[in-house]
Amino acid sequence: MVTKMSFVEHDAGLSAPGRLSLATPGDYLALLKPRVMSLVVFTALAGLLIAPGHMHPVLAFAALMAIAVGAGASGALNMWYDADIDALMTRTSTRPVPSGRIAPDEALGFGLVLSVLSVFTLGVVTNWIAAGLLAFTIFFYAVVYTMWLKRSTPQNIVIGGAAGALPPVVAFAAATGSVSLESLVLFAIIFVWTPPHFWALALVKCGEYGRAGVPMMPNVKGQARTRLEILLYTIILAPLGVAPWLMGFASGIYGAVSIAGGLVMLVCAIRVYARREGAAGDRVAMQLFGVSILYLFLLFAVIVAENGIAALR
């Protein structure tokens, strides 16, 4: 397994005093993982909109931006710590830190400053319960997942997925000062969605994870076990995705979308389980990966659209 020390020794010059930074604004934006940030904003918006009462639009916008910046801070800290293994994987080797455009200490400082700023801002503009939840989310992703789970257990994505599932809960707390069953259901949907989504990609990229020494499920338990677990998690996810409709905080339109989407997810997961070898197996795994993104987007898009329209009335 690759160690942190090997990367630091190889790239010691990156953080040398007086070194001119090669970074552009786009590099710092990349450090924030903007695609992940966009998902965080989207799911947080759903949590904000299902909250009872009315939140001033300016405060709501400030809360969403604070949550987004907190997610970006987590991404920056993740890229700082994971630069050694990112350098060994094709899909991550061009990231700002392993490519040398941003020095490790710059990424660390950037992430820490944004972490403090986002938590403090959310606390001031909303409440300190929401701020505490955001601080916990950043800590869980940057420390518990990145520094511990990712390099030590094939359950890294399962347990670490809690960080990515918390934004709706944080946003609901920002609007109400509390946590509700509804916000926890949104958390549960994202949490259970995460393993089949990421393990589908891991099936295709298991060689890269193996070279980097990351104990992803296919590398540790084998592809057959991974495909089975993808199917089992999807079997749980399909009915769970319908829960907002059954609980009455989403409409029949959401119910129809969630049932149809869950069935498509199940079909894709069954195909992944059935086709275990070669290019055909990789193809159906990537199909599941793509479908899973669309599935989660549609669920939260319907919730956002329904509650957004209701808020404008």
Provide the pLDDT for residue 19: 53
**Tokens 């007086």, residue?**
18
From 179, 196, 223, the end of a domain falls on 179
How far apart CA 163 and CA 80 sit, in angstroms, is 18
The three-state secondary structure class of 123 is helix
Identify whether residues 108 and 243 lie together within a single domain.
no
Identify whether residues 110 and 191 lie together within a single domain.
no
Provide the pLDDT for residue 65: 97
295 alpha carbon, distance to own chain's centre: 15
Identify whether residues 171 and 221 lie together within a single domain.
no
Provide the pLDDT for residue 12: 41
Torsion of CA 276, 229, 196, 99, to 10 degrees: -80
Identify whether residues 37 and 144 lie together within a single domain.
yes
Q: Is residue 308 part of a domain?
A: yes
Q: Is residue 60 part of a domain?
A: yes
- Render each residue's pLDDT in the chain as its tens digit; 313 residues: 444 544 444 444 444 444 556 788 899 999 999 999 999 999 999 999 999 988 999 999 999 999 999 999 999 999 999 999 999 998 899 999 999 999 999 999 999 999 999 999 999 999 999 999 999 999 999 999 999 999 999 999 999 999 999 999 999 999 999 999 999 999 999 999 999 999 999 999 988 888 888 999 999 999 999 999 999 999 999 999 999 999 999 999 999 999 999 999 999 999 999 987 778 888 999 999 999 999 999 999 999 999 987 766 6
This model's pTM is above 0.85: yes
Provide the pLDDT for residue 5: 42
Residues 6+ apart with CB under 8 A from 282: 203, 204
57 alpha carbon, distance to own chain's centre: 26
Provide the pLDDT for residue 41: 94
Q: Which domain holds residue 138?
A: 30-179
Q: How many domains does the chain have?
A: 2
Identify whether residues 217 and 169 lie together within a single domain.
no
Identify whether residues 284 and 252 lie together within a single domain.
yes
Provide the pLDDT for residue 53: 85
From 154, 179, 204, the end of a domain falls on 179
Distance between the two ends of the chain, CA-based, in angstroms?
57
Identify whether residues 175 and 189 lie together within a single domain.
no
From 114, 146, 179, the end of a domain falls on 179
Backbone dihedral angles phi then psi of residue 18, each to the nearest 5 degrees: 85, -5
Provide the pLDDT for residue 298: 97
Q: Is residue 19 part of a domain?
A: no
Provide the pLDDT for residue 258: 98
Q: Is residue 7 part of a domain?
A: no
Identify whether residues 69 and 130 lie together within a single domain.
yes
Here the CATH number for the domain that contains residue 149 is 1.10.357.140
